[in-house]
Chains A and B, each alone.
Chain A
Amino acid sequence: MNYAPAGRSAFQRFIWYLPALVITIIFAFPLYWILLTSVKPRALIQDYPPRFRFSPVWDNYRLVFESPYLDAIRNSVIIAVGSAVLSVALATLTAYGLSRYAFRSKDNLLFWILSLRMLPAIAVIIPYSRMVRWVNLEDTHLAMIMIYAVFNISFSVWLLKGFFDEIPRELEEAAIMDGYGPWAVFGRVALPLVIPGVATALVFSMILSLNEFMLAFVLTRTSAVTAPVALTNVFITTLGVNYGGISAAAMVLVAPVALFAILVRRHLIRGMSFGQLG
């Protein structure tokens, strides 16, 4: 890999531990605080000075696993995976096409795809809820998968086009000379080289679909209710916001995403490298 050579003095290398430590503390502390809150007895949540030591209770996690929230997580995962796969599959092809083939108004098309991500949810709530009702897909996973695909495709196309742009055309030209059709060139030459990009796009798409609130609130009810919406139904009651419960719910929801990211870690961290140039 291409990094600054280690020929520098040890001091100059290890000095980087200092900012690393500071940044780790800044990012990790809120995570530690959520974890702490998730096992804190409700009577102590608003205590001051804030309680760092107490005997943990597991009521919140019990509530997470016994309430409809668990079903909502299942829904969320289905929708997230479905939307990620659909959008990344489409985006990969599209990005390749946009990268390799020139045509008029290509830049406009690219910008239009980008602009879809700019949509504020509130603008399309009513139109989407009416459209979904017309095709009788109210409160279904399919509707959410397709709607989230819009936002996911937008980002994935831009990301993957960047990857495809970096692949030298000689490789593909060689393949074409050997008689491979464009599909084979795509599938056997180009695609394997952008695996990191595909993995990244999948992870980001999953994250967006799992955590979106507004559209899910309007378009789902009970069959396809997603985790963020269920969170507000289960953990906000007359007594107000159950912060311990929300923290536990957050921990449980992050787990599948973190797991998936760890699985594809090699691809992710090796880099959203914009191509192999070495």
Chain B
Amino acid sequence: MRQRDELSVIGAAGYRLNRRRLLRAAAASGMAALGLIPSTIRPGRFVRADTTINVLAPQWPQGPKEQALAEEWSKQSGIAVTFDAVNYANLEQRVKLLVDGESTDYDIYDYDSQWIGGFVQAGALERLDTPDYLGASGVAIRMGDFFPEITSRLCQYPAAEPNAQSSAPSPVYGLPWSLNCEVLWYRTDLMDAPPASWDDLRIQAKALTTSDVFGYATEGGRDADWIISEFAPIAWSNGGQLWDPTTYTADGNLNSGQNAASLKFLADMVNGDKSIDPASANWTITERLGALLTGKAAMCLNWSPLFGGVADDTTESQVAGRVGYALSPKGSAGQAALFGCQGTGINAYSQHKAEAWQYLQFLQSKETQAALMEDAPSGFVSARNDLRETATLPWQKVFLDSIPHLRDIWNLPEYAQLLQILQTELNLAYVGQKDPQKALDDAAQAQQQVLDSSPGNPKNATPTA
């Protein structure tokens, strides 16, 4: 017919292509549909038999070993354990979102020490010092099994500072999972002995700086907790504080003259001595460690035993066999090692709390903890008192020696606000754009606003009836 001819003239190639395109589109949608079916109707991992629990953990080196041990345990206990390891930077938010949705997807949450306030406030963690868990008769583990210096900070909330004895025992929300703190990593071939104090470190760093090598490497970046990990040990070891926890005061504590001097110390090393790479103002833990392992820096702080023996791993390090570990340097008021421990707790919304508790007891048992400690790649040291003397690896020993000097940053629910305020100001002072005292003053002021409106502030406490 004439009409069809006209149309085919107009859309000749177009018409053929039309069919081909339709076919392709159909194939694509078919594929998409096939992909949809499994995920929308498949039972999935979270609708499961009664004997599976899920653990949400950060990507920590002890993961593989822990999974292997859990598999063994599953055969005896009949409880299967699956692990989801996520990027540490996202873990806190992931848990908060899950808790916001009252999710039952996971049974065990691993957490970092400073998140505990927020988690408890959100109701994420099951309270463990009850007759169901730690108080049960015949329970395999007790709080007394673990280092008291650590558990008071890591497992309880409200928490005392590490090493402080809390007068009234606080509720327990978790158990120790991974212990670590910042210690000094140094090149044994470039110096006879590691610097004992910060002043020594400064002198040594300056002496060791050449055109290719910097004396000291830092993570001066402004995100997360990078630069505070450099500043806090110096500040604390010189007697400074970040805040006064009993009165919720930052102003007067954070911006003390002592702290300003400590910050100036750090900034002068970068801008004055030039013994620290100026690029470190944007560095994270990756670059700091990388600088040491490529031989471009002679010393740096780093987390032990978390990083295990990476310095001696030739696939990661160019200075294998030439790295030693020492305590975080002394200041005028003693030593301070930045607390970095992670805990593990039960999801308050979990539907398998009993099984999760069984797993935790297994995890904390002497055999399991010993196995983890012996596994060098796990970067692990146990919190059990009875395993304290069994540490053989140098990066484990240096952690144990650091325990009396552990100090931690804030762990209240608002810690992230306080942290970001301080990070920004520290970074500005670090790059020389702001006077250290002014930076700390501004930070303290902003922090004080946050603290004043915090529900935990004693001033805001509603009088109990």
Contact = CB atoms under 8 A, between A and B. Distances in A.
Touch between chains A and B, by CB atoms below 8 Å:
yes
Interface of A: 41-48, 59, 74-75, 78, 81-82, 84-85, 89, 126, 129-130, 133, 137-142, 145, 171, 174-175, 178-180, 187-189, 191-193, 195, 198, 217-218, 221-224, 232-233, 236-241
* B11, B31, B58: most-surrounded residue (chain A CB, <10 A): B11
B141 interface: no
B85 interface: yes
Most A C-beta atoms less than 10 A away, residue of B15, B36, B89: B36
B315 A239 contact: no
Give the secondary structure class of A's interface. helix
A276 B167 CA distance: 83
A240 B90 contact: no
B286 A178 contact: no
Contact of B36 (A41, A43, A48, A141): A141
B32 A195 contact: no
B10 A85 contact: no
A141 B35 contact: yes
Contacts of A44: 294, 318
A237 B15 contact: no
B316 A85 contact: no
Interface in B152-177: none
B417 interface: no
B332 interface: no
B388 interface: no
Contacts of B442: none
Interface in B93-126: 97, 100-101, 105
Given A81-B28, A129-B101, A171 B10 contact: yes
B29 A85 contact: yes
Contacts of B135: none
B44 interface: yes
Shortest beta-carbon contacts, A-B, top 10:
A192-B14, A240-B286, A46-B290, A82-B32, A78-B35, A237-B59, A178-B3, A232-B87, A192-B11, A236-B87
Contact of B290 (A45, A78, A81, A179): A45
Nearest to A184: B7
Nearest to B89: A236
Contacts of B306: 238
Contacts, number: 147
A140 B40 CA distance: 6
A76 to B, nearest CB: 11
B59 A238 contact: yes
A217 B90 contact: yes
Residue of B31, B39, B105, B315 ringed by the most chain A CB atoms within 10 A:
B39
B21 A198 contact: yes
B317 interface: yes
Contacts of B291: 46
B303 to A, nearest CB: 8
Contacts of B84: 221-222
Given A174-B6, A198-B21, A238-B379, A192 B60 contact: no
Contacts of B286: 239-241
A221 B82 CA distance: 14
A195 B21 contact: yes
A133 B25 contact: no
Nearest to A126: B100
8 contacts: A43-B294, A47-B294, A126-B100, A141-B35, A191-B18, A192-B15, A221-B105, A239-B289
Contacts of B6: 174, 178
A42 B289 CA distance: 12
B293 interface: yes
A242 to B, nearest CB: 9
A188 B88 CA distance: 54
Interface string B272-316: 000000000000111101110110100000010011001000111
Contacts of A142: 36, 39-40
Contacts of A195: 14, 17-18, 21
A43 B293 CA distance: 7
Interface string B7-26: 10011011101100100010
B29 to A, nearest CB: 5
Contacts of A85: 25, 28-29, 32
Interface residues of B, number: 58
Contact of B32 (A81, A129, A188): A81
Contacts of A81: 28-29, 31-32
A218 B314 contact: no
B14 A239 contact: no
B7 A189 contact: yes
Nearest to B317: A43
B101 A188 contact: no
Given A82-B36, A195-B21, A241-B286, A232 B14 contact: no
B320 to A, nearest CB: 9
Contacts of B15: 188, 192
B139 interface: no
Contacts of B31: 78, 81
Contacts of B18: 187-188, 191-192, 195
Given A43-B314, A232-B87, A239-B310, A140 B39 contact: yes
Contacts of A198: 21
Contacts of A137: 40
Given A48-B296, A78-B35, A141-B36, A238 B307 contact: yes
Contacts of B379: 238
Contacts of A42: 315-316
Given A141-B35, A189-B7, 11 more contacts: A43-B293, A46-B294, A78-B36, A82-B35, A82-B36, A129-B100, A141-B32, A175-B7, A223-B39, A239-B316, A241-B286
Contacts of A89: 25
Contacts of B316: 42-43, 239
B203 interface: no
A41 B18 CA distance: 49
Nearest to B61: A238
Contacts of A82: 29, 32, 35-36
Contacts of A129: 97, 100-101
A141 B290 contact: no
B193 interface: no
Interface string B306-346: 11001000111110000000000000000000000000000
